[in-house]
Amino acid sequence: EAQVTQNPRYLITVTGKKLTVTCSQNMNHEYMSWYRQDPGLGLRQIYYSMNVEVTDKGDVPEGYKVSRKEKRNFPLILESPSPNQTSLYFCASSFNDRYQETQYFGPGTRLLVL
């Protein structure tokens, strides 16, 4: 089944404790991105990757890192999480970065930073 998976689905952590949220897709997609969803703000792009070893900042990259060592995986790293990073995070992928392509979303990771 074609899908985007994220782990963990729920995470409670404390300020400053490094964490990684994994994202994996099995559709051989080139383009992957991370969004955060906050009430009243919709989804905002954090980082995106157009292919292996090619990543770039989205609209709200502060406090986040990403890597793209393999085509299927695009982990989101919070080196020193803070309470303002409490949010719902979605990973998405599409065949390529052309704007016609439909993006497929993962199930989401709900993060609470205390």
Partner 1 sequence: AQSVSQHNHHVILSEAASLELGCNYSYGGTVNLFWYVQYPGQHLQLLLKYFSGDPLVKGIKGFEAEFIKSKFSFNLRKPSVQWSDTAEYFCAVASGNTGKLIFGQGTTLQVKP
Q: Residue 1 and residue 32: Cα distance in Å, rounded?
A: 18
Cβ–Cβ under 8 Å, residues 76 and 88 = no
Distance between alpha carbon 113 and the CA centroid of its chain, in Å?
17
Restricting to residues 7-26, which ones interact with partner 1 according to CB under 8 A?
none
Shortest Cβ 59–partner 1 spacing (Å):
9
Restricting to residues 18-77, which ones interact with partner 1 according to CB under 8 A?
31, 33, 35, 40-45, 48, 58
Shortest Cβ 90–partner 1 spacing (Å):
7
Helix (H) or strand (E) holding 96: none
Q: Which residues contribute to the site for partner 1 (CB under 8 A)?
A: 4, 31, 33, 35, 40-45, 48, 58, 90, 92, 94, 96-103, 105-108
